[in-house]
Amino acid sequence: KAGVTQTPRYLIKTRGQQVTLSCSPISGHRSVSWYQQTPGQGLQFLFEYFSETQRNKGNFPGRFSGRQFSNSRSEMNVSTLELGDSALYLCASRESRDNYEQYFGPGTRLTVT
Amino acid sequence: AQTVTQSQPEMSVQEAETVTLSCTYDTSESNYYLFWYKQPPSRQMILVIRQEAYKQQNATENRFSVNFQKAAKSFSLKISDSQLGDTAMYFCAFWPRLKETSGSRLTFGEGTQLTVNP
């Protein structure tokens, strides 16, 4: 099976802009989670989607949002970008909510200038 | 809330030797999973090994094994016969097994940068 894919891999945006990141899970996986990784804060959970519904949300402002489509692909949106949003955004998928093994994509490196 | 602590920011080991990475966690949950992930310079997060809290037997995956001490809330990773390709950041992670409607998520430690020297 193909692994988790994320697009784009690299992105440069300007403060105030918005950005959309995409994640395609492993075929058959229905749950998609998003994480933010920064040198200062480490790995932090953003949210999880299952069956097109957000099931869990981390402690991030409302500028961070996401959605999941019927084919389990997920998008994450960040509006009104701030310099502090510069990070590696990782997407992870798992087969079901009863399966606790997550498989990660290669990440999207977002740089905000 | 759960916390995961990795007290060794950096470690190094000679090729073919054995190294142990430490991890402690704090939780009030009785049912949970523990994981070790590695993140090489490519930044791809790779699952190395997992342990279910209800299992007393320590998990093993080839050269990787864990020492799970539930009472002490300790979960260390031992890498035997270290290889150059083992050079990576290693993250310990905790996942509580909660009720379906409660939701749960992975909580990561700060990471340990392991360098394998030739």
**What's the pLDDT at B101?**
46
Q: Which residues of B touch A (CB under 8 A)?
A: 33, 35, 37, 42-47, 50, 91, 95, 97, 100, 103-111
Most A-contacting residue of B6, B55, B105 (CB-CB within 10 A), to test interface: B105
Chain B residue with minimum CA distance to A96: B100
**What's the pLDDT at A99?**
82
Q: What is the 3-state secondary structure (H, E, C) of chain A?
A: CCCCEEECCEEEECCCCCEEEEEECCCCCCEEEEEEEECCCEEEEEEEEECCEEEEECCCCCCEEEEECCCCCEEEEECCCCHHHCEEEEEEEECCCCCCCCEECCCEEEEEC
Looking at CA atoms only, how far is residue A55 from chain B in angstroms? Answer: 6
Tell me how far apart the alpha carbons of residues A22 and A69 are, in angstroms, rounded to a whole number: 11
Radius of gyration of chain A (CA): 13
pLDDT tens for chain A, 113 residues long, are 789 999 999 999 999 999 999 999 999 999 999 999 999 899 999 999 998 999 889 999 999 999 999 999 999 999 999 999 999 999 999 998 778 889 999 999 999 99
pLDDT of residue B33 exceeding 90, the answer is yes
Q: Cβ B106–A88 below 8 Å, yes or no?
A: no
pLDDT of residue B30 exceeding 80, the answer is yes
Percentage of residues in chain B with pLDDT exceeding 70? Answer: 96
Q: Cβ B105–A45 below 8 Å, yes or no?
A: yes
pLDDT of residue B102 exceeding 70, the answer is no
Token code pair at residue B85 = 């390709």
